[in-house]
């Protein structure tokens, strides 16, 4: 479910950025400004992803149930 949500969100954000590109036509950043903006975007993105993973780890949502019959078949090699 989270995977589908992330894909849908990325498509929505791509659409928003594609349609609002003309709104930023007067914005002509220098190389240093562009590097600062991209660094901030990447830093914020990594911080959010780290926070999501920390929450998953804390609550144990990243572990698979060992009693799951599908997982037992997968681990035993019987497909």
Domain of residue 44: give its range: 31-79
Helix segments in the chain, DSSP class H = 2-19, 31-59, 69-76
CB 49 within 8 A of CB 57: no
SS3 state of residue 67: coil
The answer as to whether 46 is a domain residue is yes
Query: pTM here?
Result: 0.52
SS3 state of residue 56: helix
The answer as to whether 13 is a domain residue is no
The number of domains in the chain is 1
d(CA 73, CA 63): 17
pLDDT 10s digit of each residue in the chain, 79 long?
778 888 888 888 888 777 776 666 677 778 888 899 899 999 999 999 999 999 998 988 877 666 666 665 555 555 5
SS3 state of residue 77: coil
């Amino acid at each position: 479910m989270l995977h589908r949500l992330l894909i849908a969100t990325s498509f929505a954000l791509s659409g928003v950025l594609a349609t609002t590109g003309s709104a930023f036509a007067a914005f002509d950043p220098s190389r240093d400004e562009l590097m600062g903006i991209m660094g901030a975007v990447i830093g914020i993105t990594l911080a959010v992803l780290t926070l999501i993973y920390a929450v998953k780890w804390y609550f144990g949502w990243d572990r698979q149930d060992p009693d799951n019959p599908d997982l037992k078949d997968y681990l035993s090699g019987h497909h």
